[in-house]
Every structure is written in structure tokens, then in C-alpha cells.
A = this chain, B = another copy of it.
Amino acid sequence: MSIVVVGSVAFDDVTSPAGSVKGVLAGAATYFSLAASHFTKVRVVAVVGEDFGPEHEEVFRKRGVDIRGIEHAKGKTFRWGGTYGENLNEAKTDFTHLNVFEGFRPQIPREYEDSEFLFLANIQPTLQADVRRKMDGVRLTGCDTMNYWIQRTPKELAETLKLVDVLLINDTETKMLAGETNLPRAAHKVLAMGPKALVIKHGEYGATIFFREGAFGIGHHPFRAPTLPIERVEDPTGAGDSFAGGFMGYLASQAELNREVLKRALFYGGVMGSFVVEKFGPQRLLSLTRQEIDARFQVFRELTHLE
């Protein structure tokens, strides 16, 4: 089944202890779609500028990603620059030039309308809600957001949360959104806002999924999938978006959506996040094979499997 992702396409300048790159194709929609493309058909809705050429289209095409929904606007593509220190957990932002992304009003191509899965990457919550309403027939909607929207547009975000099935955010965002420092209590407050499931991303420690009572099956236990950096980490950018791509892409590849499927999706999210950080930009997502993905799935499974 196919999945539509709405979000940013950008060019990044990244510096980390492993080196630096300039103008690398990036953005949430890029990382998400390249990760998800290993599991299912992906369709992108985004905006780019005049500096986005055929060589960039080719990156998506190589992975079979449908880019008919990428709008070409006058001006420059979104550009971001960041530097990671030794601990690699947080980037210092060197610059953010929104450029054409500032006026982004997502348009869903007619050809995308039969998609059964939707992922709303981190954009302004009202735009997310508009897209969700237009894609009325979807079976499952995933959504990301960030502290900026939690703090500045809480009402708009609350409206969006009523329309999504799975929210994927990190620990800090969960606590901020709930106004509660205990993670499981915060999770339950967030679930009361609308989503059927909440995926809390713990960075290098994996992720936990909390379910609303009765959603996707019976039981009230949360589930944790681990992650572990295997190779050298060059560039943590895109780890969260690639996680979302692996998670949503795997879901879209399955006939049934039950808790066991969501648990395995959480593992695949961790797997894709752990691969992308091995190389600068999204390049590892391009060289990756399904065999490598499943081998790492097994490593992560053994990492937590008790006889």
C-alpha cells in the first residue's frame, strides 16, 4: 500500500566530529521517504526552489519514490546548517533559511488521493490538519511535531492531534505537550488528546509505544524497541525522520494493523534510524538492502530477547 508524506525537502550543511558536508539533500520528507521506500511505495508532498535540479530528483527516483507532489517554486530551497559536538545528541543550529518553505501550502496531487497511509512530518499544525482532512480516506495517519509548535500553537496542535492515529515525538516533546515530567503519565495525557498510539523516541536508547485502551487490540502494556549504534556515527541528522519512515513504511506493507505489527514496526523504525546515522546525509538509505535491514532487525531482537 502507498504512503503519502508531507514535509520539508532541504539542503543541509552539517559538521560533526567525523567531518563536514555542504548542501546535502535532506529535510524530513527526504529522510522519511527514502527510509519508507524500503518497505512500500512512497509519495512526497513538498516544496523546493530553483536550486533543486534533476540530480536531486534522481535520488528519489532511484528509490522509486513518487515526486509528482514536489512543487517547484521561485527562489531557493530550505537550507539548514548545524554542528554536532562529541556527544552527537544535539545539534547547534548554525543557520535556518526557510526560503520557499516559508510559504509552503501543501497540495495533494489527484494521483495521490488513493493512498491508504499518511505521514504528516513536522510542519505548522494547521497545515497538517488541512492535509489530513483532504486525505479523508486514509487508513492510518502518523504525525510528528516539535517544541516550537507545542509552545506557540498549542490550540492548533490540539486540533491536529484529534485527527491523527499515531503521534511520533521524543521524550522532551512528550513531557512538554503533557505538562507532566513522569513519562508514562505524560504518555497517557497525550493519548487523551486524540492519538490511538504514541511513539516516544528516546534517541540512542530506542523508542516506546503507548497504546490507548482498546486501540489496535487488547491490553494496556506499552512496548519498547531498542537501538544501538553499530558502526561509527557520522551524522545524526534525519535519525528521527528515518525512524518514522521505517515505522510507517513497515505498517503500510502489512495487511493487518494489530499490536504485534506495531511492535515490529517500532523495531524497523529503530533499525532505519541506526543505519542513517552511519553516513552523512541520507546516503546510507540509498546503499541499503532489505537483507541488511532484516539482519539488523535480528540483532536488535537478540539485544532484548529473553529466553
Is the CB of A224 closer than 8 A to any CB of chain B?
yes
Is the CB of A96 closer than 8 A to any CB of chain B?
no
CB within 8 Å for A224 and B228 given contacts A181-B88, A263-B306, A304-B304: yes
CA distance A302 to B263 in the complex (A): 11
Could you say which residues of chain B place their CB within 8 Å of the CB of A17?
181
Within 8 A of B (CB), among A194-235: 202, 204-206, 208, 221-226, 228-230, 232-233
Say whether B205 contacts A206, CB under 8 Å: yes
Say whether A303 contacts B221, CB under 8 Å: yes
CA distance A184 to B274 in the complex (A): 13
Is the CB of A182 closer than 8 A to any CB of chain B?
yes
Could you say which residues of chain B place their CB within 8 Å of the CB of A267?
306
* A128 smallest CB distance to B (angstroms): 28
Could you say which residues of chain B place their CB within 8 Å of the CB of A184?
228-230
Say whether A302 contacts B221, CB under 8 Å: yes
Copies in the complex: 2
Is the CB of A188 closer than 8 A to any CB of chain B?
no
* A176 smallest CB distance to B (angstroms): 11
Could you say which residues of chain B place their CB within 8 Å of the CB of A181?
17, 86-88
Within 8 A of B (CB), among A267-306: 267, 299, 301-306
Residue on B nearest A185 in the bound complex, by CB: B232
Could you say which residues of chain B place their CB within 8 Å of the CB of A88?
181
Say whether A304 contacts B223, CB under 8 Å: yes
CA distance A223 to B299 in the complex (A): 10
CB within 8 Å for A221 and B183 given contacts A205-B205, A228-B208, A307-B260: no
Is the CB of A264 closer than 8 A to any CB of chain B?
yes
Say whether A224 contacts B303, CB under 8 Å: yes
15 interchain pairs, CB-CB under 8 A: A183-B229, A184-B229, A184-B230, A208-B228, A221-B299, A222-B303, A223-B303, A223-B304, A224-B303, A226-B304, A260-B307, A263-B307, A264-B306, A304-B305, A304-B306
Q: Known contacts A184-B228, A304-B305; can you find 16 more A-B pairs with CB under 8 A?
A: A87-B181, A182-B232, A183-B204, A205-B205, A206-B224, A223-B303, A223-B304, A224-B226, A224-B228, A224-B303, A224-B304, A226-B226, A226-B304, A260-B306, A263-B306, A304-B306
Binding site for B on A (CB under 8 A): 17, 86-88, 181-185, 202, 204-206, 208, 221-226, 228-230, 232-233, 260, 263-264, 267, 299, 301-307
